[in-house]
Amino acid sequence: MNEAAMDPREARPSSFAFERSDRVLILAHLGVAYLALFIGAAAGLLQGLQRTGFIKLPTPLGYYQLLTAHGVALALIFTTLFIVGFLFSGTAKTLDGRLYPVDRVWAWIGFVMMVAGTVIGLITILTNDATVLYTFYAPMKATPWFYIAMALVVVGSWLSGAAIFTAYARWRRRHRGQVSPLFAYMSVATMILWIIATLGVAIEIIFQLIPWSLGWVSHIDVGLSRALFWYFGHPLVYFWLLPAYIYWYVNIPQVIKGKLFSDSLPRLTFILFILYSIPVGFHHQLNEPGIGAGWKFLQVVLTMTVVVPSLMTAFAMFATFEMAGRAQGATGRFGWIRKLPWKDVRFFAPFLGMVMFIPGGAGGIVNASYQMNQIVHNTLWVTGHFHMTLSSSVVLTFFGISYWLVPALTNRKLTWKANNIGILQSWLWFVGMLLMTVPMHIVGLLGEPRRTAFTTYNDSPAVQAWLPYWPVMGIASIFLFLSTLLFLGTVIYLWWFAPRLETAAEYPIGEARDTSHKTPMILERWPLWISITAALVLIAYAVPIVDMIQNPAPGSPPIRSW
Ligand code: HAS
């Protein structure tokens, strides 16, 4: 059967050899991502030990400077570069077996811009000229170079998106009337979400922060800048999550010797994320002035709807696992659990991430509940929430991906030794995250603020309730740093030293369980979904934003708080 006539939902052979140019491109993205992971983890260790009273930082290092380095290197750089590399790999594999030169040109220009932005941004943080945390809230003002650096990263990532779009559009021209391969479809959806979301932060950076930091305007409208940031900031979390979901939906079924539960359900899930993840940014600003209660309420309602695709994912995952186990002869109600490949790090690491997503997601629903948000907002509860979701569910999945993607790209073997070290490393990370996030949730409920260096608040009695939890969180940061070192050491081994493979490496892509049901083509009509998203964004944002522009607050001059 020729490629064009093949049902796109059929699995391609699980072994796959990347073209050299694609391999170099993807490895370049992963390499920078891993460097950022190291920098961010080192900053995390120091800041974690300082905050919990274990160490005093050597001058001139400051707590908030480290916190900025930690957030920027991990939440913005590690994630973006890793995600783009992973999406390129699956797009190449599932579309034409490779990227084309024009896709690679976009991809490389984007990569150079993102790396330039990363280097400039990290230098400004190192020189202590940009201690504004990863949210770079005005009126704290960084050097203009920091904002320029962030703009470079954002625009660079748009070009990565352009590379995926051109590859996908070419495939669709050549396969008219066919449903596109699931991985590529989900990559396109992820990039559409990302580009629509980053428009907000791009407007904030270009029209507000850069002119203000250059001194061209004296004051900044803080409320407007925050609204634009959170228009971007919430879908940002789904830009982190969706690639993990791609792995859960598309790759894991093959790893566990099962089949994809459905081809349509994950597509619908991703469409729902595009629709509902963007018009919800106000749930980060429920306690801020300048936004009417009605608009906050509307966005809280939409936030509750964005929970639905995650619940659909939970259902699909349980179904996939159970069906895989039963197909392998499992009996009884829970016999299928024993059939899952617990000793395979490609499954085990992301599975731990899924487990952590259950309390992490539940915490998100608490955050989004208008009244409960008053209790948890700006406390360590929120820090605990995003270390359960992003740093556990997503990052454990990225570990699981790395353990097979790096050797697949270098044509080396994931040896049993490396696999077992990976399992140990994942446990270390999981336990470290539990030791850190559970106390964070507890002290958050007891009122401990987030974004604060070590302080006993003049020995306030309230602090007495928090004190027992600090050593646990400090020890957790050591667990997490050790786990990072173990991970990076294993990646180095898989990149350069593991035994070479004679044949092509495995790239797991799950087969559809049931190809008799045709996937509805409407799911592939992007202009329709983008238009509905635009309408939802207008409904949720147009009036409050116009109101902020027409009735501007007095504005704030720059403040250097460090
Ligand atoms: Fe969040 C704050 C609401 C999900 C990240 N969130 C943050 C911040 C970050 C973040 C970084 O409404 C802080 C930003 C800052 O610096 O200020 N969040 C939600 C809601 C969800 C949610 C409703 N967040 C995430 C994800 C993140 C993330 C995902 C990163 C990847 N979040 C909020 C709100 C705030 C917030 C407020 C503002 C708080 C404030 O006041 O500042 C939902 O999407 C969550 C839905 C998820 C579920 C879980 C489904 C479970 C699954 C696992 C199945 C498991 C299996 C394993 C199959 C309902 C899919 C089998 C297991 C066995 C045991 C056998």
Three-state SS for 68-112 is HHHHHHHHHHHHHHHHHHHHHHHHHHHCCCCCCHHHHHHHHHHHH
* Any ligand 1 atom below 6 A from CB of 357: yes
Residues with a known catalytic role: 234, 238, 385-387, 450-451
The protein residue whose alpha carbon is closest to atom 17 in ligand 1 is: 284
Q: What pTM was estimated for this model as a whole?
A: 0.95
Query: Which atom of ligand 1 is closest in space to residue 287's alpha carbon?
Result: 41
3-state secondary structure 245-268: HHHHHHHHHHHCCCCECCCHHHHH
Judge whether 343 lies within some domain: yes
Query: Which atom of ligand 1 is closest in space to residue 244's alpha carbon?
Result: 31
Judge whether 5 lies within some domain: no
Q: How far is the CA of 142 from the centre of ligand 1 (A)?
A: 29
The protein residue whose alpha carbon is closest to atom 18 in ligand 1 is: 364
Q: How far is the CA of 238 from the centre of ligand 1 (A)?
A: 9
Angle formed at CA 404 by CA 398 and CA 408, multiple of 5 degrees: 125
* Bridge partners (DSSP) listed for residue 412: 500
Q: How far is the CA of 365 from the centre of ligand 1 (A)?
A: 8
* Any ligand 1 atom below 6 A from CB of 283: yes
Q: Which of 381, 379, 350 is nearest to 364 (CA)?
A: 381
Judge whether 522 lies within some domain: no
Mutate-to-test residue for ligand 1 from 333, 386, 430, 441, highest number of ligand atoms within 8 A of CB: 386
Give the C-alpha separation, 220 to 535, whole Å: 28
Query: Which atom of ligand 1 is closest in space to residue 318's alpha carbon?
Result: 58
Q: How far is the CA of 50 from the centre of ligand 1 (A)?
A: 27
* Any ligand 1 atom below 6 A from CB of 396: no
Q: What is the CATH number of the domain that holds 411?
A: 1.20.210.10
Query: Which atom of ligand 1 is closest in space to residue 134's alpha carbon?
Result: 16
Judge whether 531 lies within some domain: yes
User: Are the C-beta atoms of residues 176 and 89 closer than 8 Å to each other?
Assistant: no
User: Are the C-beta atoms of residues 365 and 328 closer than 8 Å to each other?
Assistant: no
Judge whether 8 lies within some domain: no
pLDDT in tens, the chain (562 residues): 333 333 333 344 567 889 999 999 999 999 999 999 999 999 999 999 999 999 999 989 999 999 999 999 999 999 999 999 999 999 999 998 999 999 999 999 999 999 999 999 999 999 999 999 999 999 999 999 999 999 999 999 999 999 999 999 999 999 999 999 999 999 999 999 999 999 999 999 999 999 999 999 999 999 999 999 999 999 999 999 999 999 999 999 999 999 998 999 999 999 999 999 999 999 999 999 999 999 999 999 999 999 999 999 999 999 999 999 999 999 999 999 999 999 999 999 999 999 999 999 999 999 999 999 999 999 999 999 999 999 999 999 999 999 999 999 999 999 999 999 999 999 999 999 999 999 999 999 999 999 999 999 999 999 999 999 999 999 999 999 999 999 999 999 999 999 999 888 889 999 887 766 889 999 999 999 999 999 999 999 999 999 999 999 889 999 999 9
Q: How far is the CA of 140 from the centre of ligand 1 (A)?
A: 27
The protein residue whose alpha carbon is closest to atom 49 in ligand 1 is: 361
* Any ligand 1 atom below 6 A from CB of 34: no
Domain range for 532 is: 19-512+527-550
* Tally of domains in the chain: 1
Count helices and strands in the chain by DSSP H and E runs? 21, 2
* Any ligand 1 atom below 6 A from CB of 318: yes
- The pLDDT value recorded for residue 7 is 38
* Bridge partners (DSSP) listed for residue 506: 15
* Any ligand 1 atom below 6 A from CB of 316: no
- The pLDDT value recorded for residue 428 is 98
Map tokens 């990559």 to a residue: 187
Judge whether 402 lies within some domain: yes
Judge whether 560 lies within some domain: no
The protein residue whose alpha carbon is closest to atom 54 in ligand 1 is: 314
Judge whether 520 lies within some domain: no
Helix (H) or strand (E) holding 533: helix 526-550
For 155, residues 6+ apart whose C-beta sits below 8 A from its C-beta are 113, 202
Phi-psi region of 13 (alpha: psi -120 to 50; beta: other; left: phi over 0): beta
Reported residue count of the chain is 562
Query: Which atom of ligand 1 is closest in space to residue 394's alpha carbon?
Result: 31
Q: How far is the CA of 368 from the centre of ligand 1 (A)?
A: 10
- The pLDDT value recorded for residue 281 is 94
Q: How far is the CA of 233 from the centre of ligand 1 (A)?
A: 13
* Any ligand 1 atom below 6 A from CB of 135: yes
The separation between CA 29 and the C-alpha centre of its own chain, rounded to angstroms, equals 15
